[in-house]
Amino acid sequence: MSFLARRATAAAPGLARAFSASARRDIAKITLVGNLAGPPEVRATSTGNELIEYSVASNHGSKENRQTSWFRVAAFVEEGPRRDFLTNLPKGSTVYVEGNATMNQYTDGEGKTRQALSITQRHLEVLKRPTPTEE
């Protein structure tokens, strides 16, 4: 019997969430792999807190039809080594980001209702740093 068949058989009797006793939490998660569009920047919020914002560019499609998707990410990192590490990442660094995703609705300057994807970083790994160019 295959692993998946054993797993389906074991899960069938209760079909409940036997693996967790905690309450269900609905949340959208997103995983990104791409390159930093620029170094992350510290910004102040309207409440006086600070957050770090950065953009990740992710390419998809064949060479002839390559397209780039841009994602804005916010991270809430306290002052210290983790914040210093993040804010010192150079443009072009290839990163792996796991985060929570939410859709926000807002009204633009022309009075039109728009939607935007907000991503809050939960985990970041640097996969590759750009090689310094020789002058």
Let me know if residue 73 belongs to a domain: yes
Which CATH number do you get for residue 63?
2.40.50.140
Tell me: pLDDT of 20 over 80. no
Tell me: pLDDT of 18 over 60. no
pLDDT at 4: 47
Let me know if residue 133 belongs to a domain: no
Let me know if residue 63 belongs to a domain: yes
Structure confidence by residue, pLDDT tens digits, 86-134 = 999 999 999 999 999 999 999 999 999 999 999 999 999 999 999 877 5
List the one residue out of 79, 80, 54, 58 whose CA is nearest residue 67.
58
Let me know if residue 29 belongs to a domain: yes
pLDDT at 55: 97
In the chain, how many domains are there?
Answer: 1
The whole-model pTM stands at 0.72
Gap between the Cα atoms of 43 and 55, Å rounded: 14
pLDDT at 82: 92
Let me know if residue 2 belongs to a domain: no
Residue 102: other Cβ atoms inside 10 A: 13
Domain, as residue range, for 67: 25-128
Q: How far is CA 18 from CA 10, 56, 57, 100, in A?
A: 11, 37, 39, 24
Let me know if residue 3 belongs to a domain: no
Let me know if residue 120 belongs to a domain: yes
Query: Is there a contact between 32 and 58 (Cβ–Cβ < 8 Å)?
Result: yes
Let me know if residue 52 belongs to a domain: yes
Gap between the Cα atoms of 105 and 91, Å rounded: 29
Tell me: pLDDT of 36 over 80. yes
Strands 41-44 and 28-36: unpaired
